[in-house]
Structure formats: structure tokens, C-alpha cells
Chains A and B, each alone.
Chain A
Amino acid sequence: MNKPLVGALHYASDEGWRLARLPGAAGQNDVESPRWKTLDGPAASDSSFDPAKLADVLAAENLGAAPILLALPSRACSAVPIHGVDAIRLPRTTLVYEMEAGLIDAVEELAIDLYLRPEGALGIGVRIEAWKPLLETLEEHGLSVAGVAPWACIALEAILPHVSGADALLFPLDGRLECFALESGVPSQWLTLEPGGLAAAAVLRTWALERGSALRVACLGPEGDRPSLGPPSPDLDYFEPNLKLSGDLESLALDRAEVVLRRPSTPHLELLREGLSPRAYWSELKAPAGFLAAGVCAAVLAAFGWLFATAWRYDAAAERFAAQQVDLFRSLHPDLPPPPGVRSRLESELRQLRGTSAGETADVPQESAFATFHAVLAALPEGQRFRILDVRVDGGKLEFSGEARSHREAEALSAALEATGRFQLAPLATNVLPGDRGVGFTVSAAYTPAPIAPLPAGAQP
């Protein structure tokens, strides 16, 4: 389905602003009905012309955001021919400045488009200052101007396919006579003349002289209203166009306007550019913005790529370290399956080992009754007679009782223990046994084990 079109908004010098709705356009259901509607607004040439008033009038037409082609009157346009350059190959800027010699205004003050051909070009411009306020106002009112072109050029482009082989073209439009010179089917000169064939004949003869050959001139117009060039002359030949107009030229031009609006890529003269186009600024930025957008996309893709690559590297590193932990555990316990948390398992194992190791149990009793008993046995003097009747050892505390032949021998036993330097003895208790059986004694002592000597430097435990 085609998008809705508004059609052409045209300023005709006699009627003021006119709006033509195209077939299928918003609010236009009857194709055959008259297309043109004269708008109740001020003329563009009035000094009191207020674009806002025109915009209000258009807004009342319920046009929505459908595209409008602004068709300019010929007298608002400047046409400058450029000769002797390959316009197809030259940069557009160069061609524009080639026009400057034939212009009153500076090229910077004009919105310019060109008809190009290998031997030259026809540049057509319109003053930005004159039309930009209107375009901006229409945009501000939500009206979408999709194109700006001279009404005569729109009509010309509609006619051109039917006048292949002609060197010049004459047709009446908007109460004037439009006169185009053609080279290789491309417009090379343009003049708008007062009605009447004499002035046109003079212009055409001049062009024929410049070209050095007779011109084949196609004259178009409604039956009975075709431009006449007067009596035949050697400079001008009539060229019969392959076109029979059923209506007026404006219908043909409106059809062309529809083509341009529906397919903006159709080659046509377009003045909605440079300073005249509200979109011009963005158009100029289009290429850099495209590069910027491409750069941003590339940067975003690169960022995502970097993120995933980095995440993958970290994952690989984490897996490597986890595998190394498992290897460590297996080196310690080859027969055990590695637990899920190797670190916590090793920590637990180390805590337990510390708790059970000799060096870590300083806060628990260490005295061994066996060590004390062994020290006593080792300290008992040899060559003395005594009898031990009972021994009680509690950790490092010792008490034993016995019988000796005399106090002196009991004292000697006590002294032997003391001589080791490891026993702290309580005063020896003795008593004489009845029946001349000697003396009884009781030894109480506290044993201190010898400290463990440090290892010599370099020695392995």
C-alpha cells in the first residue's frame, strides 16, 4: 500500500497558494475531481506574507504528516547554464561556483541543483532567505515538506520522455511561456518568457546561433493554445512531440510530482538541500554520523567480545587453580577422593593436626608418671640395701615409702635423688622400726623433667 501523499503546494502568481491533492492522498477519495484547491491565504509576494498563516490554513486541511512537494514559481528561480565542462565528473561544489558569474546572489545564499551532462550543466537555484522561513514554519506545524522544485521543472521532467530528439521545448505554464534548450535530452538553458511566440522565437534563434545549427523545437500545450514561433525560418524546425495531451500540462506535472513523492530516489531537480532544508544540517552530518554509528557499533561489538573473552580467561584461570588445589590434595592423600572444598578440608585437617601435635598442647598437663617413676629408678643408689614397700606417682609428684638399715642409709637414698637436680624433695621422714628392724622412711618429691635441648644448626629433626 502506498503511503498517503498530500501532493503539490504551488504558488501561482495569479491565484496565490494552491494545493493539489494527488490520487490516494489523505482526504482525497475522488481521483477525477478537480485537484487544485486555492488556499485562502496571503500571496507569497505580499510584504505582509506570514508563513504561519499559510501553515494554519494547511493545518486546517488535515494533511497529517503526509509529504508535500513545494512547487515554486519560475520567477523565484535563477537558472545559469555552464558550458565546456564535464559536469558528470566534476565535483558539485566546483559546478556551483562555476554558476557564480551568472548570478546576482552569492552561491552560498542559494539552494542549487543541477541538470548534468558531459558537455556542461544547467544550474537552478532559489534564494534560501526567501523560502526558508516558510519551510521552517511548515515543519514546526508538523507539515512534512518532502521536496522543493520549480513547477516548470516538474512539468519539464514530465514532458522530457516524450520529446526525445528535440533541441528546445516550449510550453505554457502558470500564464507564462517556459522555454528550455535541450542537449542530449538534458536541459541546458531555461528562460521564462511573457506569452507570445515572438520573444521565444528570438531567444531560440540566439540559442541556435550559439549552437551553430538549427534547433528542433517542440511546442506543447493544449489544443489551440500551443505556442507559435511565427513563420518558418532556417534556424528553427518544428519537432512533433510524441505526446497527445488529454488535459492541461499541469495534470502531467502533477503525475510527475506523485512519482517524485512516492519514489524520492527518482532523478529529479531537488532544491530541498543545503541551507534551505531543515534536514540539510543532518544530511551533511549523515556520512560522518554513519561512520560514527558504525564505529560505535564496532566498539560495542568489540566491548562485548572483550567482555566475553576476559570472562572466559578468568573462568579458565579459576578452573586451573581449582585443578591445582585438587592435585595438592591428591599429593597429600592419594587414596582419598578430593572433596568439593579442598581448602576448608585442608584447614580442618591442619587444625586437627595442630591440636594433636606435641608443640601445640602447652595448655594441657604433660607430666608423665612413667617419666617420674623411670627417673626415680635411675636415681636409686647402687650398693645400698633398702626396701621399697609402696610407690605413688601422680604426674610429676612422687611419694614412696620403705625400710633402710639406718637413718644414714635413708638419708643417702634421699641425697641420691636430690643429686640428680631434677627432684625437689620434702624433708625426709624416718621412724625407727620396732624389733631392731632398722628405720622406716617416706620420700616425697616433685620431679621436673630435663628440658629438650635445641637441635644444632643445620640438623634435621
Chain B
Amino acid sequence: MNTSPFRTAIAGLVAGGVLVGLLLGWRMVESRRRAAEEQAEAFVECRRLVQQIRSLKDQPHVAGSREQPLKELAATVEQCAEAASLPSEALSRIEPGAPRRLGKTAYLEQEISVELRSTTLPQLSQFLHSASTRSGVRVKRLQLLEPRRGGEGESWGVEVVFAYLIYAPQSAAAKSSR
């Protein structure tokens, strides 16, 4: 058969082009398929995550998600004192400590030392209860000293150390420090 080299070359180029086109098309379809599968998996995972988030949101929280600034801490303590009907002069000192990591855990603990004067036991009990209901706050140490008898009954000098638990995984802390 007498076929011109030019026509043979063109035919070869066309055939090669078609093959390359099919190959590229197949790769395109594969990448789209993978993308669709990933989105489907992501959707299933998101549905599961949302269910877990909803159930965890209903549970009590023992840690905060961020470090609280001093102003915010002081305001919280004052609110608790107000809830316990403590006069403003009874709240003699609020002293926050620096957050420190609890061993190798994902948590930081920030201590807040609070000194109360002339506080009755019902007031103290209400004050501590009010603080304990705050997210991430627990009464770590408590010292009652110098009981005095007064018109409203026995009052005490109280030093309370609250521990404010902050969830701060090492990797997140490292990221935020960058």
C-alpha cells in the first residue's frame, strides 16, 4: 500500500492524541471520583462530629477553652461575692497566678487566690458554690481563720485558692506561640 509518510504521521499523531486524551480524561474522572468520595466521607464524618458535639455540649464542663484575663477573673469573683451577699469591703484581695501545665496533660491550671474578711459560713458556702458552678473553676484550697463573733453570728477570715482549668493542648499552644 502506497501511503504517504505525511499522512501516516498525521494518522499517528491523531491516534496518539486520542489515546493521550483518553488517558487524561480517565485521570480527570479518577481525580473527580476521589474528590467526590472524600466529600462523601467528610459528610459522614461531619454528621458524626455534629452528633458528638451536640452530646458533649449538654455535658458539664470542667475546663475553660482559653486563659481568662485578670479583669475577667476579678469580675467573676466579684459576681460570686455579690451572689453571696458579701459586702464589697469583705473582698480584700484577688491575686491571679500564672498558668502552669499539669504534668504532661493538655491542661493548664491558673490559680486565683482570694482573701475574704468577716465572712459568715452561709456567705462563704454561697460564695464557693457560686464560683464552683462556673465552667472550669474548682475550689482548690480553703483556709478559715480567726473566727469572730459578731452581730450576724460567727465570721471568719477566709483565704480561698480557686483553680481555673484551661484546655490547651501542646500543639495548639505551640501554634499560638508562633
Tell me whether A162 is interfacial, beta carbon within 8 Å: no
Bound-state Cα–Cα, A80 to B63, Å: 111
Which of A282, A318, A354, A371 counts the most B-chain CB atoms under 10 A from its CB?
A318
Q: Are the C-beta atoms of A332 and B61 separated by less than 8 Å? A: no
Tell me whether A459 is interfacial, beta carbon within 8 Å: no
Interface string of B153-178 (1 = CB under 8 A from A): 00000001101010101000000000
Tell me whether A130 is interfacial, beta carbon within 8 Å: no
Chain B residue at smallest Cβ distance from A349 = B53
Which of B45, B109, B125, B140 counts the most A-chain CB atoms under 10 A from its CB?
B140
Q: Which of B17-39 contact A (CB under 8 A)?
A: 18, 21-22, 25-26, 28-29, 32-33, 35-36, 38-39
Tell me whether B121 is interfacial, beta carbon within 8 Å: yes
Residues in B with CB closer than 8 Å to A357 are: 56, 59-62
Q: Are the C-beta atoms of B62 and A358 separated by less than 8 Å? A: yes
Q: Are the C-beta atoms of B107 and A361 separated by less than 8 Å? A: yes
Bound-state Cα–Cα, A366 to B140, Å: 9
Q: Are the C-beta atoms of A356 and B32 separated by less than 8 Å? A: no
Residues in A with CB closer than 8 Å to B42 are: 321-322, 325, 342-343
Bound-state Cα–Cα, A390 to B163, Å: 22
Residues in B with CB closer than 8 Å to A369 are: 138-142, 160-161
Q: Are the C-beta atoms of A307 and B2 separated by less than 8 Å? A: no
Partner of A328, one of B26, B47, B138: B47
Q: Are the C-beta atoms of B46 and A364 separated by less than 8 Å? A: no
Which of B57, B103, B139 counts the most A-chain CB atoms under 10 A from its CB?
B139
Bound-state Cα–Cα, A311 to B34, Å: 11
Tell me whether B134 is interfacial, beta carbon within 8 Å: no
Query: Quick check: which of A28-36, A232-240, A392-400 contacts chain B, the rest being far away?
Result: A392-400
User: Are A307 and B63 CB-contacts (below 8 A) given A328-B47, A355-B167?
Assistant: no
Q: Are the C-beta atoms of A346 and B105 separated by less than 8 Å? A: no
Tell me whether B135 is interfacial, beta carbon within 8 Å: yes
Q: Is the interface on chain A under 10, 10 to 19, 20 to 34, or 35 or more residues?
A: 35 or more
Q: Are the C-beta atoms of A391 and B46 separated by less than 8 Å? A: no
User: Are A395 and B141 CB-contacts (below 8 A) given A307-B28, A310-B29, A388-B147?
Assistant: yes
User: Are A352 and B2 CB-contacts (below 8 A) given A317-B36, A346-B53?
Assistant: no
Q: Are the C-beta atoms of B40 and A356 separated by less than 8 Å? A: no
Residues in B with CB closer than 8 Å to A367 are: 138
Tell me whether B75 is interfacial, beta carbon within 8 Å: no
Q: Are the C-beta atoms of A318 and B32 separated by less than 8 Å? A: yes
User: Are A321 and B36 CB-contacts (below 8 A) given A352-B167, A355-B167, A370-B129?
Assistant: yes
Residues in A with CB closer than 8 Å to B121 are: 377
Q: Are the C-beta atoms of A366 and B62 separated by less than 8 Å? A: yes
Partner of B145, one of A368, A374, A390: A390
Tell me whether B152 is interfacial, beta carbon within 8 Å: no
Q: Are the C-beta atoms of A356 and B64 separated by less than 8 Å? A: yes
Tell me whether B132 is interfacial, beta carbon within 8 Å: yes
Do most interface residues of chain A lie in helix, strand or loop, or is the interface mixed? helix
Chain B residue at smallest Cβ distance from A143 = B2
Q: Which of A353-390 contact B (CB under 8 A)?
A: 353-359, 361, 363-371, 373-374, 377, 387-390
Shortest beta-carbon distance from B51 to chain A in Å: 10
Partner of A350, one of B28, B56, B63: B56
Partner of B46, one of A139, A317, A328, A390: A328
Q: Are the C-beta atoms of B140 and A394 separated by less than 8 Å? A: yes
Bound-state Cα–Cα, A326 to B11, Å: 50
Residues in B with CB closer than 8 Å to A324 are: 43, 46
Residues in A with CB closer than 8 Å to B61 are: 356-358
Bound-state Cα–Cα, A342 to B10, Å: 50
Residues in B with CB closer than 8 Å to A97 are: none
Other A-B pairs beyond A352-B167, A394-B141, 19, CB < 8 Å: A282-B1, A307-B28, A311-B29, A314-B29, A318-B36, A324-B43, A343-B45, A346-B49, A350-B56, A353-B53, A356-B136, A358-B62, A361-B165, A364-B102, A369-B160, A370-B142, A373-B142, A374-B125, A389-B147
What is A's interface to B at a CB cutoff of 8 Å? 65, 139, 144, 278-279, 282, 300, 303-304, 307-308, 310-311, 314-315, 317-318, 321-322, 324-325, 328-329, 331-332, 342-343, 346-347, 349-359, 361, 363-371, 373-374, 377, 387-395, 461
Top 4 A-B pairs, shortest CB-CB distance: A355-B167, A321-B39, A314-B32, A307-B25
What is B's interface to A at a CB cutoff of 8 Å? 1-2, 18, 21-22, 25-26, 28-29, 32-33, 35-36, 38-40, 42-43, 45-47, 49-50, 52-54, 56-65, 102-103, 105-107, 109, 121, 125, 128-129, 132, 135-136, 138-147, 160-161, 163, 165, 167, 169
